[in-house]
Amino acid sequence: MTQQLTTWTAALATLAIMTFLFAGDNKVFRFAQHVFVGVAAGYGVALASSSAVRVGWTPMVTKGQWGYLVPMVLGLMLYARFVKGFAYLSRTPMAFLVGLGASLSMKGIATDFAAQIKATILPLNTVNNVILVLGTASVLVYFLFTVKRHPVVNGVSTFGKWVLMAAFGAAFGNAVQGRISLFVGTLQFLLRDWLHLIG
């Protein structure tokens, strides 16, 4: 019974969202959209708070691991920005978060920069390798804005531009494919789980 109720709710909410295609922005669509946003936000808050209790609060009060008090107090200080006169208190945890984010991202120098450059140093013995090496080099030349425009540089730069266009085309193709996938999956849900028309 609970499962049926869940399926019917999901199916009706799906159809409500789909009304946008044929009726534009309408009350049914807006209702479903607002419910979705509210449920998603509520779910996120509930899950994050239960995680804070599980990982921070429980070890603190049951095992005396008072070290967790520091991140919990810092976390609470973030909310001080909503209290007039105490907003400055939120700057300390914010600074901590910015520093943490920056330091975690530093690993990207190894994974996104060095490793990716290394991956383009290839023997030119296959068509794929040639396309990869020449494509990468020419796109880099395209972004050289302070070099005197020699005809050779212009030619390589133009080739780089076409490589970029091909990449954008591939990205657009994937975007279309992704949207169709989402729609196919949604129709499968409606036909299989709700209407039982397909196996």
Rounded to an integer, what distance in angstroms lies between the CA atom of residue 139 and that of residue 147? 14
Stretch that binds another protein, among 26-34, 37-45, 86-94, 138-146 (CB under 8 A): 37-45
Q: Residue 28's closest CA among 42, 38, 43, 14?
A: 14
Which residues, 6+ apart, have CB-to-CB distance to 128 below 8 Å? none
C-beta of residue 192 within 8 angstroms of C-beta of residue 185 = no
Instruction: End-to-end CA distance of the chain: give it in Å, rounded.
Output: 21
Residue 85: left if φ>0, alpha if ψ -120 to 50, beta else—which one? left
x-or-dash string of contact with another protein, 74-113, rule CB under 8 A: --------------------------xx--xx-xx-xxx-
Q: How far is the CB of 70 from another protein (least distance, A)?
A: 15
Give how many residues touch another protein by CB under 8 A.
48
Considering only residues 110 through 149, tell me which ones interact with another protein, judged by CB under 8 A: 110-112, 115-116, 118-119, 132
Q: Which residues bind another protein (CB under 8 A)?
A: 21-22, 40, 43-44, 47-48, 51-52, 54-55, 59, 100-101, 104-105, 107-108, 110-112, 115-116, 118-119, 132, 167, 170-171, 174-178, 180-189, 191-192, 197-198
